[in-house]
Structure 1
Amino acid sequence: MLIKDVAVSLPSRIVTNEEVIDMIRFHSKDYEGDIDRGMRTIKTLLDRSGLVNRRWCESHESPIDHVAMATRKALSETYLKPEHIELFIYVGIGRGFLEPGNSHMMASTLGFVNAECFDVVDACMSWTRAMAIIDSLFKSGQYRNAMIVNAEFNMLAGGPLYPGNFALKSQAQIEYTLPSFTIGEAATATLLVAKEPDNFTFAFRAKPAVSDLCTIPIPGYEGYCHPTERIGKNGDMRFTSFGHELHKNSDELSAVLTKLPVPKKDIDIVFTHASSKAAWQGYGAKVGIDDKMYHIYPETGNLVSASIPAAISLAKDGGRLKRGDRVLCWVGSAGMSFNVSSFRF
């Protein structure tokens, strides 16, 4: 499998940490306790994570417009047109439909009229899971090309984050709500072709015992699990994430890296899930690859399942990633799941 091209479309509004603090203060009318202390805590933690800005949509922007721009850019330097794409997969958390798959609706809207469609939903691991699936499908000879798209626009009013999670009630709520304030928005499109079958390697590990650390439960979820006190602390259809606990449980990141058959010295660039520059830099230093890491988190925030493809696109456009470079992708996700994958770009 080869990445023919990858493209990102970022919304136009740039939002600073200071602006986010002002929004939280404005919506937290019922805050019990010292709100100034609470705001200082959030600001300090955001700054320490390495976050400076994130990108959100202005009122005139819509997710489908950004997906259209990303797919158009990904196809622009090839002979392929939307009607030539054989497999169209939608990945990630941001979505407009529980039924049918978002892939079907977007393929219809964007002219991918001959593509087979389905969705992959695996939190921030969704793009990587889709890549592994397509790699296997290509090896089986079922398809010659594929497009992966996502539209991580989770800050839209009435969504899982805003304004609900910005209306804090107490200092204690910060523990499981702080990651909400790191989220950015983006759409990405990844165009893949069935060439060089041995190019990609994937290794996954799972830690389902801590699956309740990061959730967006839907009404009636209690019938599909053994409920715990951590699930849905912010309410149904709202993002609850114990960010500190997630990073404490990321020991599998080092373990999964040992499955990589590529020597570290041969790696040219490392892309990680954009959840915290400080945390990922620490993981990299522990295993000796921190000098090869490419971070987008400071200027985009956490792009959820769009983190890796957005980073690849931005590194390519900025001249940091060149054809033939050996790439390492390193992901930790809610679930929890962990991945290391490598390929020649």
Structure 2
Amino acid sequence: MTIRAKVTGIGHYLPEHVVPNAEFEKTLDTSDEWIRSRSGIERRHFAAEGETTSDLATNAAMAALGDAGLTPADLDGIVVATSTPDLTFPSAATMVQARLGMERGFAFDIQAVCAGFVYGLANANALIVSGTAKRIMVIGAETFSRILDWNDRSTCVLFGDGAGALILEASEGDGTKEDRGVLSVDIHSDGRFRDLLYVDGGVSTNSIGHLRMEGKEVFRHAVAKLAATATTAMEKAGVTTDEIDWIVPHQANIRIITGTAKKLGLPMEQVIVTVQDHGNTSAASIPMALSVGKAEGRIKPGDVVITEAIGGGLAWGAVLLRW
């Protein structure tokens, strides 16, 4: 018998305020056509004034619990992947824990920027496989609108806010690729590339800071590293591309998404794409795309799904699972 971490619930939440590309034409030298052609983004959601990352995360958590038919008391832990927490401390995860009325278990944040949800899944999977916990909610939640430089048209048009939550539960398997649940994990980082994508401020530098990105260099690293980590994850599980039902990538940029799919030899018909509606929501993008894919009836029980992401650090990785 092998313990697998199986998906039992999924949900997401988007702030009410929708910002179409045309909104940026009022203040920047840009256009709807320019943004669409370079990123595939048509609109994104921004959190309202006073609406925090933990607010978004809590709403997504409630949606996932409803999907699973569970209550907060059924959870052993909460892991929130975010680079934009409400406060320096305590963690956004403990705030979600309190708002859900969950008085047991553990809660902590994890920070790997856009790769955060993959890292969160990797950690939750390890905790479940080790027997430390039986049921963990992993949430990706971000309010990137709080760290954007509104004068930098190369970055501020790309990002949005939102949250997605997924529940993993211990399940017995045979130890084969036919098991439902997480089949393999592959994660990496290389701090030599920190200057390609970062925020130029923080607590110990006594400054707020804004997001900075070398777009061309990030693109160059992204396609190669994402295809490589997805391939490694498949090799670890003994799964071939012919057995993949869906790629659910980090929704950063349509060119990165299509480039990675092409490098893997998989058609875009097998890729869940939400970047046009959500923009780049960092750690929230994969769980939100998974939630949309399930809600639309595309991702079904038994489907083999590969998720992959890359973000500041650089940090990147992939998780392969059978839904």
Q: TM-score range by the shorter chain?
A: 0.7 to 0.9
Q: 1:114 is matched by which residue type in structure 2?
A: R
- Tell me which of 52, 56, 60 is aligned to 1:66: 56
Distance 1:253 1:148, change over 3 A: closer
* Deviation at residue 180 of structure 1 after TM alignment: 2.5
Which position in structure 2 is the counterpart of 1:283? 260
**Residue in structure 2 matching 1:245, options 188, 205, 217:** 217
Give the whole-Å Cα distance in 1 for the aligned partners of 2:53 and 2:189: 31
Aligned pairs for 1:28-107 within 5 A = 38-39=29-30, 44-59=34-49, 63-107=53-97
Q: What's the offset of the Cα at 1:45?
A: 4.5
**Structure 2: gaps (5+ residues):** 176-180
Q: Per-residue CA shift, 1:8-49, capped at 9, x if unaligned? A: 011222211111232x33xxxxxxxxxxxx436x95244332
Residue 189 of structure 2: aligned partner: 206
Partner of 1:254: 227
Paired with 1:63 and 1:330, the residues of 2 have a C-alpha distance of 23
3-state DSSP of counterpart to 1:118: strand
Structure of larger gyration radius = 1
Structure 2 match to 1:184: 160
* Alpha carbons 1:272, 1:329 under 8 Å: kept: yes
Cα distance change, pair 312–196 in 1 and its aligned pair in 2 (3 A): farther
Instruction: Indicate if the aligned counterparts of 2:124 and 2:138 stay in contact, CA closer than 8 A.
Output: no
- Aligned match of 1:313 in 258, 273, 291? 291
Query: Judging changes above 3 Å, is the alpha-carbon distance between structure 1 residues 62 and 341 closer, same or farther for their aligned structure 2 residues?
Result: closer
- Corresponding letter in the other structure for 1:277: I
Tell whether 2:23 aligns with 1:19: yes
Letter in 2 for 1:160: I
Contact preservation (8 Å) 1:10, 1:186: yes
Q: 2:170 aligns with which of 181, 194, 205?
A: 194
Q: Whose strand proportion is higher, 1 or 2? A: 2
**Structure 1: distance between partners of 2:167 and 2:289:** 15
Stretch deviating more after TM superposition (129-138 or 142-151): 142-151
- Structure 1, 115-124 or 252-261: larger mean CA deviation: 252-261
SS of the residue corresponding to residue 156 of structure 2 reads: helix
Structure-2 residue corresponding to 1:334: 312
Q: CA deviation at 1:103?
A: 1.4
Runs of 5+ in structure 1 lacking a partner?
A: 26-37, 169-173, 223-234
Secondary structure of residue in 2 paired with 1:167: coil
Counterpart secondary structure, 2:132: coil
Q: Is the 8 A contact 2:225 2:316 kept in 1?
A: yes
Aligned to 2:178: none
Q: Does 1:269 align with 2:246?
A: yes
Measured on the aligned residues, the alpha-carbon RMSD in Å equals 2.2
Matched residues in 1 for 2:36 and 2:314: separation?
A: 23
Alpha carbons 2:6, 2:171 under 8 Å: kept:
yes
The answer as to whether partners of 2:79 and 2:124 remain within 8 angstroms in 1 is no
1:54 deviates by: 0.9
Q: Once the 2 structures are TM-superposed, how far is the Cα of residue 338 of structure 1 from its aligned partner? A: 2.3
Q: Secondary structure at the match of 1:330?
A: strand
* Contact preservation (8 Å) 1:89, 1:147: yes
Distance 1:112-1:219 versus aligned 2 partners, 3 A rule? closer
Alignment partners' CA distance in 2, 1:152 and 1:220: 21
Q: Is the 8 A contact 1:21 1:43 kept in 2?
A: no
Structure 1: which amino acid aligns with 2:12? Answer: V
TM score, norm. by length of structure 2: 0.87
The alignment-based identity, stated in percent, is: 22
2:300 to 308, 314, 322: 322
Please report how far the alpha carbon of residue 80 of structure 1 lies from its aligned counterpart in structure 2 after TM superposition.
2.7
